[in-house]
Amino acid sequence: MKTDFTRQEAQDYLSAMRVDNDLVRLVDPIARNVLTDDGGPRENEICHSVWGHCDRCENCTSLRALRSGERAYKLETLNENTYWVCSRFLRIDGQPFVAELVCDVTNRLIMDSNQRDQIGRLINSYNQMLITDSLTGVYNRRFLDEHFIPSLKCCHEDSISVNLAFIDMDGFKVINDRYGHRAGDRLLRDVAGFWKLHFNSRERGKERLVIRYGGDEILVIACGIPLEKFSEEIRHYDGEMRKICYLSDKIQFTFDFTFGITSSEAFPPDWTWDGLIEAADRKMYQRKGAKLPEAAPGGSEDRTNGQE
């Protein structure tokens, strides 16, 4: 697949694609802007507004194409019409962009009437799977990278605070070694599920999210509230959680985790996500280092009554 174009080649390509497609446009999916055919800015035209969305599409194929350097596809619906969308990565004079090719397939997509609902459910299920961690049921790293982080541009523009708690399990490897990986999986499900009960909203500007960042690391995010209130909530729920994992009738063990909290309030106006995550991670390790040495799970507080 050709990816490198001069400005004239890009204009010629997009013009040719308009012959067979209903909508062809060049976009910058990071800024969410629609561009001119030579990559120049086009004022006040947001890419997702064409679909009637006030925010970024939940599964943005253009952002995926930009990150992968390839193509990405999806079916999109609007006003009872169905559209086939192809997002194609390309570089114009060395600068990365995405070409969106949209074709109305409402009357050309052949399927039985009863299959339309089935395919719709399948697509919705698949889209949800892409952004959800299969083990814990909370959002995954792909959601963080492709949806939440790009949306931070709006937080900058509207001066919306972003608060972050970086949670890391204590002695997670010891738990896996002693009780097996099934115990570690159960523990992660329990902890992620607990935080999701209290942080689970996609309301614009007031998001409350739980994300499995990787391994035994979990992020809790809340937007649009003061850092003091967020810190109070994290500490309240940390104290409220009953930290016993019930692996079976015979095996139950205590656990704990360490968290580090930060907020965009503590940063200059040009703060970045990397700065937030690094600060929260650093504070988490400072708290972990300040903890007294703990007995490995299975010590005096372990509630194991026998072997499974």
Q: What residues are annotated to the active site?
A: 216
Is residue 247 within 8 Å of residue 186, measured between CB atoms?
yes
